[in-house]
Structure 1
């Protein structure tokens, strides 16, 4: 007899469990299995049993790590967000591109391209995230939990953006979170376009163009940056 999905009407608020090395490995394998199952079957049609079977674990192993599939999704989301933010931070701090001799506009485009290179357009994750978002929109507590996590992403990414822009001779004009929200929305919108037109190189080129234009629109020349470099050059 098929088992119904173990969804919870509440976001993950369970008491944190002690994570041993073995438990951590089990948790990672279950999350990897869940990515495959959610992407193949759809979040709403996936069950704990399917994930356990794919990962080679029992229901007991699942419930010793996650209270529900909703909690598992948030763990998956946080794992993926942390990895992506780490890659963005590395790219923003990178000195791998030579900006000498470039115009301000060319510098901004080169920096944008470098950061976009580590922001994945992932078919599997897009399907999972889109389906869970639709699920959360039907549940007020999940919707609040999802919004809170989006705010956490903004709080983390804004300082990275500010630092990267300073290196490019720009600064954010106005509220930094407005630019952050604009970039998140642009990522979501252009991701689906790139996935639908996966054989069209122009779609990814347009993605870069749109990101560059949005960053340009929400930033201005950083006169402090210019003044600092002049002082260094005259010393």
Structure 2
């Protein structure tokens, strides 16, 4: 059974190669093809040949962009996480989240629902990610690389959470990273429920409820007096 070769640590953690416009197009098409193949066959049963055939490229095109299937997965993961974080940032910064007409007791849930609308619950990606995570747990170098990427997501999303909560009149209690980790855990758990129940309305409502409970538990109303114009100028 063909599986991806286990890369040395530099395959998983080095800075990406310089990407020209043409190479960027090739990478994107290969990544799209890989997503289809991984989803259909499973990560461990997918081969470079299958991906190249699906994308209409040669093995040479693959290896000029990726050292292994493991490296390709991380590129796919980076692509998706970057897009998701940008969607979350835009939702958190939009005027919709101000929710000035709602009482404080309803603001957190309404703001949470607005942000969750842009967080995908994707059957195809869930299967790919779950299989690769199991694969990485058997390989110390991959497990370390996966943990580093999860931490990078937390480092990016925590300031977005702080800003969004500030606009809702709340502030994080304790270590913001703890709230970030709790929300990742809720996302992972409720994604499974939504997928198993075919994205039923009740499963999605429960997802919003659980996120809201966690956000409320790790935050409190912000009683800090607003900064004056003079304070802003002197800072």
Question: Into which bin does the TM-score normalised by the smaller protein fall?
Answer: over 0.9
| 1: CA distance, partners of 2:199 / 2:181 | 28
Superimposed CA distance per residue, residues 18-60 of structure 1 (whole angstroms, 9 cap, x where no aligned partner): 2111000000000000000000000000000000000000000
Match of 2:6 in 1: 8
Secondary structure in structure 1 of the residue aligned to 2:181:
helix
Distance change >3 Å, CA 175–CA 199, structure 1 → 2: closer
| 2: CA distance, partners of 1:185 / 1:193 | 13
Describe how 1:48-197 pairs up with structure 2 within 5 A.
Answer: 48-97=48-97, 99-197=99-197
Any conservation in 1 of the 2:98–2:167 contact (CA below 8 Å)? no
Match of 2:233 in 1: none
* TM superposition score normalised by structure 1: 0.92
After TM superposition, the runs of 4+ consecutive aligned structure 1 residues lying more than 4 A away are none
| 2: CA distance, partners of 1:220 / 1:15 | 39
| 2: CA distance, partners of 1:97 / 1:220 | 17
RMSD over equivalenced CA pairs, Å: 1.6
Post-superposition offset of 1:10: 2.7
Name structure 2 gaps, 5 residues minimum.
Answer: 230-235
Superimposed CA distance per residue, residues 75-132 of structure 1 (whole angstroms, 9 cap, x where no aligned partner): 0000000000000000000102562231112111111001000000000000000000
Any conservation in 2 of the 1:169–1:221 contact (CA below 8 Å)? yes
Name structure 1 gaps, 5 residues minimum.
Answer: none
| 1: CA distance, partners of 2:182 / 2:108 | 17
Any conservation in 1 of the 2:136–2:142 contact (CA below 8 Å)? yes
Distance change >3 Å, CA 97–CA 150, structure 1 → 2: closer
